[in-house]
């Protein structure tokens, strides 16, 4: 992930040790050995999601890569990249028997007829994390051409935003894969900018000047599209420019987290999140949209106040907390982390919760992405 000047939040050393220990346990229990001997990291310990998911594996490596053997990361990368299609697409997931699945949702009832618009970006981020931790830049060099092809497979508008056709909706950003966001899709656009930035940084380490030039040029084109998502009245980004043109809590916080916006935008987003804290956060978990709002278009029915249509998730909690440090009420950041840790201890590390429900305890990304946002006091 890109390095920004937003500090991690300090938590008591005993809380950090507990969280790190829980992440280590989840990472051990989510593993399954594929038919070819590759160790696959599933999104949860129950096997509800019974495959290696590109984005979920990335969240594990980003937040807790020091707890994963480097050879497991390398094997996971190649389990995905070796199944890249001729058009550049990389799998959404790979099953234990080696079967790649490119479309989101069940294989017999996919969420649209085109690939999600985030997997190439997450694959680049995975490789960046591997190179950053091991120093093996040649690992990137041997996969450079395929990564360019992967990123170039993501559909874009002429202005640089990731695009989903309103006439043929499909999954965009995977943590909203049931949502029919169309036109420009903001979160995948942020990820594309981030991925091109990381490609440029890796290209510099490889001393491949052509790759550096092309990567940064693509990043700049993508960044120019951000303005089309910005709502200056509320100081937040929209999730999409056509269907589901609604204020995106996750995307706005992530834009701050990766340094995709300047100080003015950062402060306005932080103020919005502080002002509506009670309408976006429940026991440390965070909603996609402000409470009382639901997605305008879906790819499959999702009842209100559940899952991606009103459920509260831990995945973005660290981004929101670090964003809140720039708000007029920075102590809300500490409150969010404190409440989330208390909820983890009480109800397990879940995928999502509601006021009356806790769903899928043992969901790895919820723990590892929080670990990425904190550090021990002292």
Give the angle 367-369-372 at the CA atoms, nearest 5°.
Answer: 110
Contact 115, 183 (CB under 8 A): no
- Do 171 and 184 form a contact (C-beta atoms < 8 A)? no
C-beta of residue 6 within 8 angstroms of C-beta of residue 325 = yes
The residue among 295, 272, 294 whose CA lies nearest residue 185 is 295
Task: Map tokens 């389990």 to a residue.
Answer: 79
Pull the structure tokens for residue 224: 């120019």
When mean pLDDT is compared across 1-5, 219-223, 232-236, 330-334, the lowest value belongs to 1-5
- Count: domains in the chain: 1
Q: Can you read off the two tokens belonging to residue 323? A: 């964003």
In angstroms, the CA 1 to CA 362 distance is 24
Residue-wise pLDDT tens digits, 339-373: 999 999 999 999 999 999 999 999 999 999 999 99
pLDDT tens digits along 172-181:
999 999 999 9
For residue 213, the domain's CATH number is 1.50.10.10
What pLDDT is recorded for position 5? Answer: 75
Within a domain: residue 1? Answer: no
pLDDT of residue 378: 84
Structure tokens at 77: 């990368």
Domain that holds residue 372: 9-376
Percent of the chain with pLDDT over 70: 99
Distance CA 373, CA 320 (A): 10
Phi, psi dihedrals of residue 34, rounded to the nearest 5°: -70, 170
Could you tell me if residue 4 is inside a domain?
Answer: no
CA angle 167, 170, 176 (to 5 degrees): 130
Q: Per the domain annotation, does 3 fall within a domain?
A: no
- Look at residue 1 in the predicted model and tell me its pLDDT: 66
In a domain, 2, yes or no: no
pLDDT attached to residue 3: 64
Give the DSSP H/E element, type plus range, for residue 100. Answer: strand 100-101
Is 123 domain-assigned? yes
The gap between the terminal CA atoms of the chain, to the nearest Å, is: 25
Q: What secondary structure letter does DSSP report for 259?
A: T
Query: What is the band of 243 on the pLDDT scale with cuts at 50, 70, 90?
Result: very high
Query: What are the tens digits of pLDDT across the range 56-77?
Result: 999 999 999 999 999 999 999 9
As a whole number of angstroms, the distance between CA 70 and CA 65 comes to 8
Q: Which residues contact 141 (CB under 8 A, 6 or more apart)?
A: 206, 208
Q: Does a structural domain hold residue 15?
A: yes
* 130 inside domain: yes
Mean residue pLDDT of the chain comes to: 97
Residue 197, pLDDT score: 98
- DSSP-assigned letters across all residues of 14-51: HHHHHHHHHHHHHHHHTEEE-TTSPEEE-SBSSSSS-S
């Amino acid at each position: 992930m890109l390095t920004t000047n937003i500090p991690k939040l300090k938590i008591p050393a005993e809380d950090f040790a507990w969280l790190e220990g829980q992440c280590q346990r989840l990472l051990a229990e989510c593993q399954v050995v594929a038919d070819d001997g590759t160790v696959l990291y599933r999104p949860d310990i129950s096997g509800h999601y019974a495959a290696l998911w590109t984005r979920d594996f990335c969240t594990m490596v980003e937040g807790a890569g020091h707890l994963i053997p480097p050879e497991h990361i390398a094997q996971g990368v190649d389990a995905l990249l070796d199944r890249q299609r001729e058009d550049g697409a990389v799998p959404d997931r790979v099953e234990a028997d080696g079967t790649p699945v490119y479309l989101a949702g069940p294989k017999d009832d996919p969420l649209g007829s085109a690939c999600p618009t985030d997997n190439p970006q997450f694959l680049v981020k995975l490789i960046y994390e591997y190179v950053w931790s091991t120093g093996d830049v040649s690992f990137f060099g041997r996969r450079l051409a395929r990564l360019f092809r992967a990123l170039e497979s993501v559909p874009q508008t002429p202005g640089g935003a990731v695009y989903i056709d309103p006439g043929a909706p499909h999954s965009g950003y995977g943590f909203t894969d049931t949502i029919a966001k169309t036109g420009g899709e903001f979160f995948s656009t942020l990820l594309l900018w981030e991925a091109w930035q990381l490609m440029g940084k890796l290209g510099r380490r490889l001393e491949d000047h052509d790759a550096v030039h092309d990567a940064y040029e693509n990043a700049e084109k993508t960044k120019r599209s951000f303005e089309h998502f910005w709502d200056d009245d509320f100081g937040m980004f929209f999730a999409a420019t056509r269907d589901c043109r609604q204020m995106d809590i996750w995307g706005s916080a992530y834009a701050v987290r990766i340094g995709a916006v300047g100080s003015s935008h950062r402060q306005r987003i932080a103020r919005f999140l502080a002002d509506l804290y009670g309408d976006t956060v429940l026991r440390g978990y965070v909603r996609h949209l402000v409470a009382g709002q639901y997605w305008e278009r879906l790819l499959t029915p999702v009842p209100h106040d559940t899952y991606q249509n009103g459920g509260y998730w831990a995945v973005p909690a660290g981004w929101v907390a670090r964003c809140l440090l720039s708000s007029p009420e920075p102590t809300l950041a500490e409150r969010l982390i404190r409440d989330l840790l208390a909820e983890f201890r009480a109800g397990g590390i879940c995928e999502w919760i509601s006021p009356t429900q806790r769903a899928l305890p043992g969901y790895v990304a919820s723990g590892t992405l929080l670990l990425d946002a904190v550090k021990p006091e002292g």
